[in-house]
Structures are given as structure tokens and as C-alpha cells.
Amino acid sequence: MKRDLGKALAGPVHLVGAVLGLALLAAGCVPAVTGAAYGLSDHGPTKEQKQLIKEELAPYRSRGESAISGKVFLETPVGVVTGAGRSVHLTPATSYMKALVERDVIGKNKMIDRRADDVWWTTRADKEGRFTFSWLPAGEYVVLCPIAWSPSGGTSVKTGIAYAMAKVGPREHVVGDVKRVVK
């Protein structure tokens, strides 16, 4: 079954003032656990959190029959910048990962250290920024893609992290955009 990613993905979420919240109200999405509620620290997860992460990752350690595809890009003041040729990363949306996305990706425009979870898939976007992850177990995922761009066409380079959260069912294929609006 193929489903539009717009119904399965939530993101990007725009920052309004100092409010950092994931508005995951799209169909099939679950609100993220906040960093404060999860108790994130700069020292990584606690022993108890590591056990929870291990339990939450267990269903993702086998091959499935689902797929997630889409297009990665940034909407910048100088126009749309695609993620052509960039690495696109996928990881299960554990409670810990959702908290990291809120704190680091949304709050700081910072890529998450892959050591945060030990189940990751990586692919490369094509020349138009399209990507596909196949043979996935059903579940919730975070899609991330760092994209470099140049403000005002100058020589300085900035990086924006395009992101989205997706929920895919058994034998389902969801398709859509993974983006970030950069001001």
C-alpha cells in the first residue's frame, strides 16, 4: 500500500519565538517526548534510558517490507536548496531520539550524533534530492539530512538540517518531503 508522506510525516516544524515544540498533528504521528520530560543531558542516556532505548529498538532489528521515500530540501531566503547528492539518514523514533530531535535538530539546527541510537540506515539523495529506504520494519522513524547552502549567493556556507518524522505500517510505502525552512 502506498501512502502520501504528508499523511505519515510530521515536519519540519517552524520555530516561533522561543517556543520549541513538535507539532506532530498530522495523521499517523505521535507527539514527541520533550527533552525536559525525558531528562536529556550532555553526557548521554542514563543506564535506565539505555535499557528503554534497547527495548524500543528491538522491533527495528529485523528486515521488513515497508519503505519511506521522498525529497530532501531547504527553503532558504535565496530559494529552495535540494539535498542533491547528500547523505540521508533514517533511525527509529525512540523516546530518546524524539527528545534529541527537539533539542538538537529543531532547537540548535545540529545533526544528531549517530551514537545516540545504534540502528541507522543511510542512503544518498539523487541529483534532484530524492531518496528511498526499503525493506524497513513497520514503525516510527526520524529522517535527517544536513544540507549546505550559501546565503545571498556569497562564499560563506551554512548548513541546515532537513528533518521529518514518519510512521509506516506493514507493507506500506510512504512518500513525501523532508525539509526545513531557514530564515
Q: Where are the domains of the chain?
A: 2-181
Distance CA 57, CA 66 (A): 16
Strand blocks (E) in 35-172? 66-76, 79-82, 87-92, 121-124, 130-136, 139-149, 158-168
pLDDT tens digits, residue range 59-91? 999 999 999 999 999 999 889 999 999 999 999
Q: What is the pLDDT of residue 1?
A: 53
Query: Is CATH 2.60.40.10 the classification given to domain 2-181?
Result: yes
Q: What is the pLDDT of residues 116-153, one digit of tens each?
A: 667 889 999 999 999 999 999 999 999 999 999 888 76
> In Å, how far are 15, 46, 96, 154 from 33, measured between CA atoms?
17, 16, 8, 38
Q: Which residues of 5-14 are buried (b: 16+ CB within 10 A; e: fewer)?
A: beebbbbbbe
Statement: residue 107 has pLDDT above 70: yes
pLDDT band at 20 (very low <50, low <70, confident <90, very high): very low
Contacts of residue 42, defined as CB under 8 A and 6 or more positions apart, other chains included, come to none
112: which DSSP letter?
P
Q: How far apart are CA 122 and CA 144, in angstroms?
A: 10
